[in-house]
Amino acid sequence: MMAARKPSDDDIAIKVRGLNNCFGDTIIHENLDLDVRRGEILGVVGGSGTGKSVLMRSIIGLQTPVSGEVEVLGQPMVGMSDEETLAIRKRWGIMFQGGALFSTLTVAENVQVPLREFYPQLDKPFLDSLAAYKIQLAGLPADAGPKYPSELSGGMVKRAALSRALSLDPELLFLDEPTAGLDPIGAAAFDDLTLELQRALGLTVFLITHDLDTLYAICDRVAVLADKKVIAVGTIPELLKTNHEWIQEYFNGPRGRAATGAAQRAKTAAPDKEDA
């Protein structure tokens, strides 16, 4: 049996080495290492307080680590000049937890915010056209554009935030708890949309979630944060072979067993759908 090929640097979209983060005397990350492969959907899980969002913020430059190295698309993020930071930021899109839409702007205007920042020369008709395209790409109706976030349902707010994250045609997509607060049908629909966009656009997706159904449905691999670092990365079957207490409780608890059963049923039913 041939050994699995070790990914080269060209295969790695995000590389984190020896990351240390703390707030006062509280250590969040200690010598954390992580690789995110190009073209994969990586799920990031961990208990409350393990620093999942802090890790994402460290990667995108919103959190300055105490020490460590972070590379995104081959570029070192620590110590970058403003010009270098601007160039790399054009290559990713971010959907923050809760959407983080500007309440005083319409959906279309929210989508246009990154476009106006990076391409101030674009005229209004072109911006309107681009925004309309991104809104539909995220699965929203065309009439969502002139609405304000307060006029949208929770699921529509999520999609509006996603459309803004897609505004710059990113290579990397960061999603922080994208299905939190959605009912099971809405969460499954968002998962399907994420997978469809990832495949169609060739995206690399860094996805923070607590949703076990999401992990089983769309994630290629899962990174587990515990003990101030990434303790394991792999497919769910690979993770289930580890003996770490948190991993076993998370994936083999009642919700984990339910998600496993649902995934197995979906896999069994897939050929029937193709035959129909």
Q: What is the pLDDT of residues 19-53, one digit of tens each?
A: 999 999 999 999 999 999 999 999 999 998 899 99
Please check the confidence at residue 57 and state whether its pLDDT lies above 80: yes
Kindly state whether residue 3 falls inside one of the protein's structural domains.
Answer: no
Q: What local confidence, expressed as pLDDT, does residue 261 receive?
A: 53
Question: Is residue 4 very low, low, confident or very high in pLDDT (cuts 50, 70, 90)?
Answer: very low
Kindly state whether residue 218 falls inside one of the protein's structural domains.
Answer: yes
Kindly state whether residue 53 falls inside one of the protein's structural domains.
Answer: yes
Q: Which domain holds residue 220?
A: 37-58+81-255
Please check the confidence at residue 192 and state whether its pLDDT lies above 60: yes
Please check the confidence at residue 271 and state whether its pLDDT lies above 70: no
Question: Is residue 273 very low, low, confident or very high in pLDDT (cuts 50, 70, 90)?
Answer: very low
Which residues fall within 8 angstroms of residue 15, CB to CB, at 6 or more apart?
A: 9, 34, 35, 36, 69, 70, 71
The per-residue pLDDT of the chain, averaged, comes to 90
Amino acid, single-letter form, for residue 22: C
Q: What is the CATH number of the domain that holds 150?
A: 3.40.50.300
Please check the confidence at residue 251 and state whether its pLDDT lies above 70: yes
Please check the confidence at residue 274 and state whether its pLDDT lies above 50: no
The whole-angstrom separation of Cα 29 and Cα 49 is 10
Q: What local confidence, expressed as pLDDT, does residue 83 receive?
A: 82
Q: What local confidence, expressed as pLDDT, does residue 254 receive?
A: 62
Question: How many H-runs (helices) and E-runs (strands) does the chain carry?
Answer: 10, 10
CB 162 within 8 A of CB 108: no
Please check the confidence at residue 3 and state whether its pLDDT lies above 60: no
pTM, 2 dp: 0.89
Q: What local confidence, expressed as pLDDT, does residue 213 receive?
A: 94
Q: What local confidence, expressed as pLDDT, does residue 145 receive?
A: 96
Which residues fall within 8 angstroms of residue 154, CB to CB, at 6 or more apart?
A: 181, 182, 186
Kindly state whether residue 172 falls inside one of the protein's structural domains.
Answer: yes
Total domains in the chain come to 1
Kindly state whether residue 6 falls inside one of the protein's structural domains.
Answer: no
Q: What local confidence, expressed as pLDDT, does residue 189 receive?
A: 96
Beta strands 221-226; 41-46: pairing state: parallel
Query: Percent of the chain having pLDDT more than 90?
Result: 79
Q: What is the pLDDT of residues 119-161, one digit of tens each?
A: 999 999 999 999 999 999 999 998 999 999 999 999 999 999 9
Kindly state whether residue 161 falls inside one of the protein's structural domains.
Answer: yes
Kindly state whether residue 227 falls inside one of the protein's structural domains.
Answer: yes
Q: What local confidence, expressed as pLDDT, does residue 99 receive?
A: 87
Least confident of 3-12, 107-116, 176-185, 194-203: 3-12
